[in-house]
Amino acid sequence: MTAAVLATACAVIFGTADFFGGLATRRSRVLAVVVFSQIGGLLLIVPLLAFLPGSPSPAALLWGMASGVAGACGIVMFYRGLATGVMSVVAPTTATASMAVPVIFGLITGERPSSLALVGVVLGLFAVTLVSRSPNDPAHGSRIGSILNALASGAGFGGFFILLKLAPEDSGVWPLLGARIASIALVALLAVATRRSLRPIPGTLRVTFAAGLLDMAANVLYLLAAQRGLLSLIAVLVSLYPASTLLLARYVLGERLSPVQITGVGFALGAIALIAAA
């Protein structure tokens, strides 16, 4: 039950972070948003290390750095998709892919959720599929490009979830320190190699840091949940984050939600209830 609560809270905060990240990338350079949001997350995790239980170890930092590489690739593709596509299409499609990868991994490696939990998994996948159906109809080429970005992003996020789960259980949130160091270094090197500026557009730094702080808070909740529950269940709950992204996009940006998407949000709540009760 504790793991389900942590994962659900993680999903809400992840969705909010993605909304702020999407706003930032529409106004600034994608790599600049990624780097400065990651720095914002680093500023949050460093003080938390002194207060949350956990022991640093080479294994914790190495698994964290590996997850940081996967996550950095995922977030670059995700923010790129948000900057060029419809937020209510990109976020759910990414979530579908990021859910499938760790769920399959968990089942292959021997996790066996209860029958009730498996019903929740199926309902959660159905929910994400429903909210992925956008009432907007962007140009075909733009839609295909956004979906490809989202699928690649989801694969990166799925790898991030798996690699963090593989860190020693007694490491606390130390793997997240390794993840942030690796992701910042990777994106900075990418910017140098492609000769792209990391200077943020004036007026965007505040929302960029907000995205990074929220993203790191969600990462902490995910890691704590993964240390207490099955990856195949935690990943489903975390991947329901598009619900909060969609609601924010609806009420802040005025993006329309179709009846099918609203139904999907309802199914998401049902999936949460089933997995939490299992």
pLDDT above 90 (res 217): yes
User: How do residues 190-211 score in pLDDT, each as one tens digit?
Assistant: 888 888 888 888 888 889 999 9
Residue 204 and residue 24 in contact, taking contact as beta carbons nearer than 8 Å: yes
Instruction: For the chain, give every domain's residue range.
Output: 4-277
For the entire predicted model, the pTM comes to 0.81
Residue 261 and residue 135 in contact, taking contact as beta carbons nearer than 8 Å: yes
User: How do residues 154-178 score in pLDDT, each as one tens digit?
Assistant: 899 899 999 998 999 888 889 999 9
What percent of the chain is predicted at pLDDT more than 70?
Answer: 88
Distance CA 245, CA 248 (A): 5
The secondary structure of the chain in percent helix, strand, coil, rounded to multiples of 5, reads 80, 0, 20
User: How do residues 99-158 score in pLDDT, each as one tens digit?
Assistant: 888 888 888 888 888 888 788 778 877 776 676 665 554 444 455 667 777 888 889 989
